[in-house]
A and B are shown apart, each in its own frame.
Chain A
Amino acid sequence: MNPPSTALAEKIGGPGSGETEELISGSEAISHVCRLADVDVITAYPIRPYDTVMQYVSQMIANGDFDCEYIVAESEHSQFEIVKHASAVGARVFCGSSGVGWFYAFEALAVTAGLRLPMVAMVGNRALDDPGAFGVEHNDALAVRDLGWMLNWVETAQEALDTALIAYRVAEDPRVFLPCAISCDGAFLTHSQAIVKVPSQEMVDSFLPPYDRGDKQLHPDNPITIAPQANEDWLMEMRRQNDQAARRARGVIIEAYEDFNAKFGRDYEPFLERYMMDDAEVALVGMGTMGMPVKVAVRKMREQGKKVGFVRVRWFRPFPAVELQEALGGMQAVGVIDRDYSFGSSHHSGTLGTEVRSALYPLEKSPKVVTFIAGLGGREVTADNVVETTDMVFDAAEGKLNDQDTYWIGVRE
């Protein structure tokens, strides 16, 4: 007899709350959202580590647990074009990619937000080739940060599942109508299985309304044309509308988390996770699974009496400037650890570093911000690396370290 093949067959007894507990990876958690959100159209094109989602989705379809249009495209570009059009006719869509695959879809990615077509995508973060490295870097997903995509990073498989549900609700809200990408760190999250609470269909249905484009739905009964040729005079107004939608997204996200927390019994703060921040004097900031070694290190340093805390940025777009001002305003110094690079940027930092520094600048007494680059190409960031980094942040607080430069952690000299 074959071992049980689907996650659905592997329920290990739920807590009786309408949720079941399953041992699944971040990728598998995302595939459960496809099923629970009853996604209509999914497109696939293989690239590691995103392909693991395809694997689980196709398994669910093959086992009869899920029904959707599952289209294997001939490239990432077509993959995203297909869901873009499907979204226009009112289909709920899912898609995703990794690394250079995401870049190959760039033309489609760029116009999706402009046309206000909601979609949820998963980016299995991966370094950009060459060389053919498979480890995590955040530059792939970050590339769309200026285009109207909403972007978030998650730390655990549970958070991946919950955030993807929230993403559908926000993206398809008529006040927003923007695409949203859930970033999951390659290997550390896409390939790690942990016990995850998988909600029941009833719970999801009570939270996630059907996707309704109203009179913007492309349909024979609603004869409209989308994306005609428009001359230059239209563009600035269109961008401004996009900007307004991105601004409105903030409130919609907060609303969605409130409802999600109430219905699912969770206690997420929408934009940030604060870890041991209550009496912190120095804070680290990072995204994604970077939180794992950082939390381990923060606990160790706390034992030694160092007053350090950690802020994990969940949503990068819309960027939580207000929340960060409030969380970090009283710090003596802030250390931002980027798992990405932005060559030639101010202070040579990564992208998160630049954004955090700019968010804190208007404060009357803004803390010193010192920026780090670590873990590129999936290089392991150890708890010891984090301790070393934190010591440098303390040095910066005391003026013993230049806070106008960026420091690379764990690079071979």
Chain B
Amino acid sequence: MSTGSVEVVYRGIFQKTLAKNICRGIVFAAIKEGKIGIAFGRYSDSPERNGIPAKQFAVVSDTEEELQEYLSRYEPDNNDVTMVADDTLCKGVESWAWYGLQPINKLLAKDGTLLVTSTQSANKLIKTIHRKGSPYDLATIKAQASFSGLWVYKDDHTDVRLLGALAKVAPHIVSLDSVLEAIKDQWKDDKKVASAKKAHDETESTSVGAEQGSDAEPFSFDMPGYTKMEEGLVIRGIAAKGDIPGRDGGFVPGRNPTFKKYSTRTMRPVINFSTCTKCTLCWLNCPDTCFDITPDGFYEANMEACCGCGVCEAVCPVKECVTMVNEEAFEDNDSQWELWTKDKDGYSAWLAEKIANPPARSHGFHHIGQYAEEIANESS
């Protein structure tokens, strides 16, 4: 009796089909070896939104009974392999509920393999990944975060490359032969078979020591018990600092202290307050009600609440007033508006630097035909 399980961590919506194809591929390959398997997705913020980390799992086994154990779980916690379909998730993710940051290697078994699609070096990645406390291997597939499987994007073979690499790092789950056979069956495309084989041959693992990695403490929330929680789903307002024009005192709405969404973020909006027309559209449309109204009537995205979905960027009518920037460019959740208020020139310089290199693919829908343009740009 043996069981193998694979966790696929991906960026919500954009990579959902990609993750599903990978997990299904694993099960189909296992069937080739006479095993049985299941594939399941777990959702938290749902419907999955742009950029929100999400997970799918594939479990293969010899018996139904072993699988039962996995089907009753949200998250199997001893996975042979954790695949990361977007390297910005290496900093850790919210998993299925809002329990704070879960290190990306948390559910990986001792001596398991973290398999990441990334153009970064293993050494650089290790720096952003939390220290695990037990050794594991890190392998990378050289690739940008893929949107393959999203119907508007072309297939870049990331799914089969990861399947090929899986056969290299965990042949006890699925062998290369059965992976290739399953790909042939499922996609009926020899090029995809070849890509899987190539990825298999090229995949190298680096050992990561128990103490290697970031020593940042992953934040967690206090989860109060029923005897301590305030009754009636009440969140207390916060006394205003006394600086709201035309108002003496008063309150601003409080935010749920145990429901911060920022750890899901792979991008964040930066706002150009100098060009903002105070049109309120971002404030109205943000699905998470992230925008605080500032004393001078601007709208500021609260970085503790923002999940990075990009809706504000898409709805803002002013050119380049809201820009989504890769989360890696930031160290903290500090208020952009406060920075701007204190030092307008400093803020402009900061802003210019942040938006200088926009990611190839942003989250938001900016205009009709945007995706077609992006694909055209990439292939030219």
Pair A134/B44 contact, Cβ less than 8 Å = yes
Q: Mark out the residues of chain B between 198 and 249 whose CB falls within 8 Å of any chain A CB in the assembled complex.
A: 223-227, 233
Say yes or no: is A10 at the interface (Cβ < 8 Å to chain B): yes
Say yes or no: is B73 at the interface (Cβ < 8 Å to chain A): yes
Write out the residue numbers on chain B whose beta carbons fall within 8 Å of the beta carbon of A188.
71-72
Write out the residue numbers on chain A whose beta carbons fall within 8 Å of the beta carbon of B40.
25, 191-193
Pair A130/B186 contact, Cβ less than 8 Å = no
Q: A136 CB to closest chain B CB, in angstroms?
A: 11
Q: Which of A48, A292, A411 contacts B46 (CB 8 A)?
A: A48
Write out the residue numbers on chain B whose beta carbons fall within 8 Å of the beta carbon of A236.
none
Q: How far is the CA of A73 from the CA of B269 in the complex (A)?
A: 35
Say yes or no: is B68 at the interface (Cβ < 8 Å to chain A): yes
Q: How far is the CA of A88 from the CA of B74 in the complex (A)?
A: 42
One of A141-149, A293-301, A363-371 contacting the partner: A293-301
Pair B65/A23 contact, Cβ less than 8 Å = no
Say yes or no: is B36 at the interface (Cβ < 8 Å to chain A): yes
Say yes or no: is B185 at the interface (Cβ < 8 Å to chain A): yes
Which of A51, A134, A193, A413 has the most CB atoms of chain B within a 10 A radius of its CB?
A193
Q: A112 CB to closest chain B CB, in angstroms?
A: 28
Pair B27/A4 contact, Cβ less than 8 Å = no
Q: Mark out the residues of chain A between 313 and 358 whose CB falls within 8 Å of any chain B CB in the assembled complex.
A: none
Say yes or no: is A252 at the interface (Cβ < 8 Å to chain B): no
Say yes or no: is B273 at the interface (Cβ < 8 Å to chain A): no
Say yes or no: is B331 at the interface (Cβ < 8 Å to chain A): no
Q: Mark out the residues of chain B between 132 and 183 whose CB falls within 8 Å of any chain A CB in the assembled complex.
A: 149, 151, 155, 159
0 or 1 for each of A27-66: is its CB under 8 Å from B? (1 = yes) = 0000000000000000000101101000000000000000
0 or 1 for each of A1-15: is its CB under 8 Å from B? (1 = yes) = 111100000101000
Q: B7 CB to closest chain A CB, in angstroms?
A: 15
Q: Mark out the residues of chain B between 8 and 29 whose CB falls within 8 Å of any chain A CB in the assembled complex.
A: 17, 21, 23-24, 27-28
Pair A191/B227 contact, Cβ less than 8 Å = no
Pair B185/A12 contact, Cβ less than 8 Å = yes
Q: A191 CB to closest chain B CB, in angstroms?
A: 5
A3-B187, A193-B40, A296-B68 given as contacts; is B159 within 8 A of A51 (CB)? no
Say yes or no: is A381 at the interface (Cβ < 8 Å to chain B): yes
Write out the residue numbers on chain A whose beta carbons fall within 8 Å of the beta carbon of B43.
48-49, 134, 187, 191
Write out the residue numbers on chain B whose beta carbons fall within 8 Å of the beta carbon of A51.
47
Say yes or no: is A228 at the interface (Cβ < 8 Å to chain B): no
0 or 1 for each of A255-297: is its CB under 8 Å from B? (1 = yes) = 0000000000000000000000000000000000100110110
Q: How far is the CA of A25 from the CA of B40 in the complex (A)?
A: 8
Q: Which of A3, A25, A289, A378 contacts B159 (CB 8 A)?
A: A3
Chain B contact residue count (CB 8 A cutoff): 42
Q: A106 CB to closest chain B CB, in angstroms?
A: 23
Pair A380/B74 contact, Cβ less than 8 Å = yes
Q: B253 CB to closest chain A CB, in angstroms?
A: 16
User: For the side of the interface on A, what is the size category?
Assistant: 35 or more
Q: How far is the CA of A378 from the CA of B73 in the complex (A)?
A: 10
Write the chain A residue with the least CB distance to B149: A3
Say yes or no: is B314 at the interface (Cβ < 8 Å to chain A): no
Q: B49 CB to closest chain A CB, in angstroms?
A: 12
Q: How far is the CA of A130 from the CA of B235 in the complex (A)?
A: 14
Q: Mark out the residues of chain B between 72 and 92 whose CB falls within 8 Å of any chain A CB in the assembled complex.
A: 72-74
Write out the residue numbers on chain B whose beta carbons fall within 8 Å of the beta carbon of A381.
72
Q: A336 CB to closest chain B CB, in angstroms?
A: 18
Write out the residue numbers on chain B whose beta carbons fall within 8 Å of the beta carbon of A10.
24, 186
Write the chain A residue with the least CB distance to B223: A412
Say yes or no: is A220 at the interface (Cβ < 8 Å to chain B): no
Pair B72/A383 contact, Cβ less than 8 Å = yes
Q: How far is the CA of A289 from the CA of B224 in the complex (A)?
A: 27
A12-B185, A289-B71 given as contacts; is B155 within 8 A of A194 (CB)? no
Write out the residue numbers on chain A whose beta carbons fall within 8 Å of the beta carbon of B72.
188, 289, 292-293, 296, 380-383
Q: Mark out the residues of chain A between 190 and 240 whose CB falls within 8 Å of any chain B CB in the assembled complex.
A: 191-195
0 or 1 for each of B34-48: is its CB under 8 Å from A? (1 = yes) = 001111111110110
Q: How far is the CA of A3 from the CA of B148 in the complex (A)?
A: 10
Q: How far is the CA of A179 from the CA of B42 in the complex (A)?
A: 31
Pair A413/B41 contact, Cβ less than 8 Å = no
Say yes or no: is A16 at the interface (Cβ < 8 Å to chain B): no
A131-B233, A289-B72 given as contacts; is B187 within 8 A of A412 (CB)? no
Write out the residue numbers on chain B whose beta carbons fall within 8 Å of the beta carbon of A296.
65, 68-69, 72
Pair A194/B186 contact, Cβ less than 8 Å = no
Write the chain A residue with the least CB distance to B188: A1
Pair B28/A12 contact, Cβ less than 8 Å = yes
Write the chain A residue with the least CB distance to B64: A194
Q: How far is the CA of A49 from the CA of B43 in the complex (A)?
A: 10
Q: Which of B31, B46, B67, B227 contacts A134 (CB 8 A)?
A: B46
Write out the residue numbers on chain B whose beta carbons fall within 8 Å of the beta carbon of A382.
72-73
Say yes or no: is B353 at the interface (Cβ < 8 Å to chain A): no
Say yes or no: is B332 at the interface (Cβ < 8 Å to chain A): no
Write out the residue numbers on chain B whose beta carbons fall within 8 Å of the beta carbon of A46.
47
Q: How far is the CA of A23 from the CA of B37 in the complex (A)?
A: 9
Q: B191 CB to closest chain A CB, in angstroms?
A: 8
Q: B8 CB to closest chain A CB, in angstroms?
A: 13
Write out the residue numbers on chain A whose beta carbons fall within 8 Å of the beta carbon of B223.
412
A134-B43, A134-B44, A193-B24 given as contacts; is B38 within 8 A of A411 (CB)? no
Q: B185 CB to closest chain A CB, in angstroms?
A: 7
Q: Can you name 15 extra interface pairs (CB under 8 A) apart from A195-B36, A292-B68? A: A2-B155, A12-B31, A12-B185, A23-B27, A23-B37, A188-B72, A191-B43, A192-B38, A193-B23, A193-B24, A292-B71, A380-B72, A382-B72, A383-B72, A413-B226
* Complex A-B: 27 CB contacts under 8 Å: A1-B155, A1-B189, A2-B155, A3-B17, A10-B24, A10-B186, A12-B31, A12-B185, A23-B28, A23-B39, A46-B47, A49-B43, A51-B47, A187-B74, A191-B42, A191-B43, A194-B38, A194-B67, A292-B68, A293-B72, A295-B65, A296-B69, A299-B65, A380-B74, A411-B226, A412-B224, A412-B226
Rank and list the top 5 A-B pairs by shortest CB-CB distance, nearest first.
Answer: A292-B72, A412-B225, A192-B40, A293-B72, A413-B225
